[in-house]
Amino acid sequence: MSLINVGIENSIHINLHYEDLGEGKPVVLIHGWPLSGASWEKQIAALIATGHRVITYDRRGFGRSTQPSTGYEYETLAEDLHKILVRLDVYDATLVGFSMGGGEVARYLGKYGSEQRVTKAVLIGAITPFLLKTADNPEGVDGSVFEGIKQGLAADRPAFLAEFLKNFYNFDVLGGDRISEQVLQYSWNIAVAASPKATLDCVTSWGTDFRQDLASIEIPTLVIHGYADRIVPIDATAKRIQAIVKNAQLVEIEGGPHGLIWTHAEQVNSALLKFLAE
């Protein structure tokens, strides 16, 4: 198993599991909550087939990475990403962040800049620019929604995740057509195996303000979002990014749920590959 050490907690080494496949310009895929790098299955195949080096990794606390008790705020998560890029000697890369992973892309670029390591960015169903509703961010989501999620996780995490994933994929509408019961179960298996503390702490991190990070981005940026996203509403996120990021392109996927990288993989891949080729 391929691992990169990013720190230590007491006697435990914090290692991130990663995959480094294919040849060509690198594309780094950063997964969403509560899944792992395995969620990029449909994108990995398409990217390798079109001549790209594809790097995926499991965020700390998720997938096959170590499950420490700390480090689930975006300063540390962006630092983890930076250590991966340095360790793998990555340059001229495209960072692709899905959902929570969009936060890593934004904070990484805000903190480290491109440094020639990163030349393009893609935000898919991302929580950016600022998901939490505040006095100066009335377009955000009310904080009670986040508190309800945390209460549900604390009460019965496996049961909460089962219901959450149905909305993640809009299973009541797309089930049996674009998403099977087996994929839903597979996603639950990944989610329930994650660290309970990581799963809970990351919800708090969703309230991070990325507006300054996004404003600093000067590289070409693609935004892809499902118009029927129930988890991360498009009006509160993707539609606001173009006003902050210079020359950002927005691709709206009609009928796309939050988990559109599976349900609408063909459309997502088409937009992604076109952007990479430009």
Token code pair at residue 224: 């892809």
Q: Per the residue annotation, which of 17, 225, 258, 264 is the catalytic one? A: 258
Q: Per the residue annotation, which of 99, 114, 187, 195 is the catalytic one? A: 99
Which residue from 94, 91, 86 is spatially nearest to 116, judged by alpha carbons? Answer: 91
Helix (H, G, I), strand (E, B) or coil at 17: strand
Which residue from 195, 62, 196, 214 is spatially nearest to 131, judged by alpha carbons? Answer: 214
Q: Per the residue annotation, which of 39, 213, 229, 264 is the catalytic one? A: 229
258 is catalytic: yes
Which residue from 83, 254, 236, 276 is spatially nearest to 146, judged by alpha carbons? Answer: 236
Helix (H, G, I), strand (E, B) or coil at 198: helix
H-run or E-run covering 123: strand 118-124
Token code pair at residue 15: 């290692």
One-letter identity of residue 40: W
Angle at 252 between CA 247 and CA 253, to 5 degrees: 150
229 is catalytic: yes
36 is catalytic: no
SS3 sequence, 143-190?
HHHHHHHHHHHHHHHHHHHHHHHHHHCCHHHHECCCECHHHHHHHHHH
Catalytic residues: 99, 229, 258
